[in-house]
């Protein structure tokens, strides 16, 4: 029996070392060398302090900031520990109520906006953490942000245009705007540090 167990034990120990230590350490080392920013969370740093990640949305609700996509995570929005969508189907009354509430909130925040609200501002993403909005969603908010900041609308529109990212590798996904980066650019344009409400 022992001669039969010895190879199994040796293989078990070797595979445990390879898959439990060697492979993770090699992957970590290669990532740190080749992609250090991404491997460390794509953090955005200002004045030596991280203000957020380019990969995780934040809850901006002050009128002088662009809002991101709604988040369905609990117990707080954009909770990376609870990444998920709402799992509510299109005919679910709870989803319809949530969308109606979001529309009412956006209309109350900007009563002068008469254009249809882009769907990305009222529908949560599948992850609940989406850091980006469409260029259309950013342009829809430009007048409100400009008014709240006392900036010309054209200047805000120019900042949006400067922060539009095309599809990944020119093929995958759609054009998008990172909300945190755009809000930080607004602060830079007015010479201030980001003030975010969570």
Q: How far apart are CA 150 and CA 120, in angstroms?
A: 26
**Is residue 193 over pLDDT 50?**
no
* pLDDT (0 to 100) of residue 192: 56
Beta bridge partners of 132: 178
Sorted by sequence, the CB contacts under 8 Å of residue 158 that are 6+ apart come out as none
Burial label for 69, CB within 10 Å (0-12, 13-18, 19+), is buried
* pLDDT tens per residue, range 101-156: 999 999 999 998 889 999 999 998 888 899 999 999 999 999 999 999 999 999 99
**Is residue 197 over pLDDT 90?**
no
Mean pLDDT, the chain, rounded, equals 89
Q: What are phi and psi of 108, to 5 degrees?
A: -70, -35
State the average pLDDT over residues 170-177.
88
State the average pLDDT over residues 81-87.
80
State the average pLDDT over residues 49-57.
89
Q: In the block, which residue shows the tokens 């956006």?
A: 106
pTM for this predicted structure: 0.79
Q: How far apart are CA 106 and CA 183, in angstroms?
A: 18
* pLDDT (0 to 100) of residue 74: 75
Query: What is the side-by-side strand order in the sheet with 164-165?
Result: 132-133, 176-178, 164-165
Q: In the block, which residue shows the tokens 């540090």?
A: 193
């Amino acid at each position: 029996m022992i001669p039969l167990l010895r190879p199994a034990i040796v293989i078990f120990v070797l595979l445990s070392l390879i898959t439990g230590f060697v492979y993770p350490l090699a992957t970590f080392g290669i990532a740190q060398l080749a992609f250090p920013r991404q491997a460390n969370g794509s953090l955005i740093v200002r004045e030596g302090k991280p203000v957020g990640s380019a990969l995780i949305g934040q809850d901006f609700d002050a009128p002088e900031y662009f809002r991101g996509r709604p988040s369905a995570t609990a117990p707080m929005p954009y909770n990376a520990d609870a990444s998920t969508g709402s799992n509510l189907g299109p005919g679910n009354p709870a989803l319809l109520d949530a969308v109606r509430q979001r529309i009412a909130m956006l209309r109350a925040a900007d009563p002068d906006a008469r254009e249809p609200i882009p769907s990305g501002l009222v529908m949560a993403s599948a992850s609940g953490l989406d850091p980006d909005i469409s260029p259309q969603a950013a342009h829809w908010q430009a007048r409100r942000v400009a008014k709240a900041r006392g900036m010309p609308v054209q200047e805000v529109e120019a900042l949006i245009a400067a922060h539009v990212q095309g599809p990944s590798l020119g093929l995958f996904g759609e054009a998008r705007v990172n909300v945190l980066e755009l809000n930080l650019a607004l602060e830079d344009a007015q010479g201030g540090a980001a003030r975010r409400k969570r």
